Amino acid sequence: MAHSRPIQGIGNKGDEMRLRLAGSEFVYPCCANDPRVRESFEAWSQMRQVAPLVAHLQRTPHDVAAVQALGTAMGPNDDPVNRAWADRLVEDVLRIPYRWVGRLLVAQFGLWVIAAAKGEPEEKIAIGATALRLPKGRLPPLAGGKITEGVHWHYRRDVKAPADELHVLVEEYVRASGRQTEAHSVVQNRIDQVKVFLSLIQPIDR
């Protein structure tokens, strides 16, 4: 199947949007909602000692000094402690080859803390031009829904613990699509496609 063989890189706005969609979906909800990442977030929050400030801001949300103190407590995303935490998320917690994911997950931690302080629902981190470095080249077209589906399949088979077997994903796809022919190839090819998409996203400069 021709669409299963991506060319290395991006060449137009559509390619960029597809790569950003894959990256964004992989970070949140897939990795961000992983129980291991949530556990890491709790440990990070304790290490950063943000709970008292969050509780204070829930009571007195307009305390500017407390807002500033919370920002200081969390630290910038690129400080040594947060960078080391990001590396552990990728290498030891999720055990994935995409180094850029850790930095975005730590940034997501910050959003969760801010949302808690405001008493608002969790927000999804937006992957913008300053968040990722993307390579030159081009990618074949792939509809957004298919990218999203492929990202979730990749997470469930290759990242999630315990992982879902490929045949489980194929059976779900057959039930949802009503398609029996080449169902295994469709699922496998789409997983392979998004793995290439995610591997093309380059680590943020340190």
| Per-residue confidence (pLDDT) for residue 78, from 0 to 100 | 85
Instruction: Return the pLDDT at 19.
Output: 83
CA 194 – CA 153 distance, rounded (Å): 9
- The whole-number pLDDT of residue 14 equals 67
Dihedral pair phi/psi, residue 5, rounded to 5°: -120, 80
What letter represents residue 162's amino acid? P
SS (H, E, C) 97-111: CCCHHHHHHHHHHHH
Bridge-partner residues for 136, per DSSP?
A: 10
Write the DSSP symbol of residue 202.
Answer: B
pLDDT one digit per residue (tens) for the chain, 206 residues: 333 344 445 555 667 778 888 898 999 999 999 999 999 999 999 999 999 999 999 999 999 999 999 999 999 988 999 999 999 999 999 999 999 999 999 999 999 999 999 999 887 776 654 455 555 555 545 556 789 999 999 999 999 999 999 999 999 999 998 877 889 999 999 999 899 889 888 766 54
**Residue the block writes with tokens 């021709």:** 2
What is the model's pLDDT at position 1? 34
